[in-house]
Amino acid sequence: MNRTWNNRAWFMVLPVLVLVAFSAVIPLMTVVNYSVQDTFGNNQFFWAGTEWYEDVLSSDRFWNSMARNLAFSAIILAIEVPLGIFVALNMPKKGWGVPVCLVLMALPLLIPWNVVGTIWQVFGRVDIGLLGYVANALGFDYNYVSDPFDAWVTVIVMDVWHWTSLVVLLCYAGLVSIPDAYYQAARIDGASRLAIFRFIQLPKMNRVLLIAVLLRFMDSFMIYTEPFVVTGGGPGNTTTFLSIDLVKLAIGEFNLGEAAAMSIIYFLIILLMSWVFYTVMTNVDSEK
């Protein structure tokens, strides 16, 4: 039987394609263009080929920022994922406590990133901040402005406070979707709480946990606003992650070619990580 295809539906997608082209594709092509050229001003460009990419990949500055980014993401995942699972397991499943807990969990996620940075910048100050005052009153020589360790602790605690709620909400959604029949069978078998978590709850949360890990890794790897507002990348370059280093290179030093090359490499790394997580998630689904 011959079918007549109606392609007029594509016109409904056309505005989205135009919007994506102007908001993503065209700026990306502009960055690619800058990454293979050099300029000395007066809007005159000279072909540089892969020179900027070679400079970035051979630069200790890039790899040091990359190492700081990976270390930060690893620490964040090691704290937020177990903590999110623990909080979700202890949240009420019925009654008036459910909406109260959900609202409280959602509150940190509603605060803009620059406001979060400002809050913790003031909160951690040793002169007027509650955290700085209490830490020094307890005998800790706390000062995130001058001490690298304190700066790292402040940025990590800030991110945990801001984003653990996302892991909690995702894990909670996975937990409430488990049928009661599983728990009834576990009680009949006399299973312990640890056994219930290992053989019932954790397998049922696999999907949402992978999504939580993907989202938190991508966001922590691209973090910029919060640490920039709190520490400005300091003290020294202690908290200068790739995103902060990229802005310093492009705006502070006005090195557009090298900054464009770093942007493309940064983008490809994130794309590769997303593909790895997507592959893992699809493999988990296919095994079920």
> For 206-223, how does the pLDDT look when each residue is reduced to its tens digit (9 = 90+)?
888 888 888 898 889 989
pLDDT of residue 25: 78
pLDDT for position 69: 92
pLDDT of residue 278: 75
Closest-CA residue to 73 (of 206, 219, 243, 275): 219
Report the pLDDT value the prediction gives residue 186, as an integer from 0 to 100.
86
pLDDT of residue 3: 62
Amino acid making up residue 101: C
What average pLDDT values come out for the chain (288 residues) when binned by 10 residues? 64 79 79 82 77 90 92 94 92 87 90 90 88 88 90 94 93 88 86 87 85 88 90 88 90 86 90 82 65
| Maximum C-alpha span of the chain | 83
Structure tokens at 5: 């295809």
Choosing among 3.20.20.150, 3.40.50.300, 1.10.940.10, 1.10.3720.10, the CATH entry for 60-287 is 1.10.3720.10
pLDDT at 5: 62
Tokens of 228: 């920039």
Q: Tell me 235's DSSP state.
A: S
| Segments in the chain forming alpha helices (H) | 10-20, 26-35, 51-57, 60-90, 97-110, 113-123, 130-137, 148-176, 180-188, 193-196, 202-204, 206-221, 225-230, 242-247, 256-287
The residue ranges of every structural domain in the chain are: 60-287
On whether the CB atoms of residues 227 and 124 are closer than 8 A, the answer is no
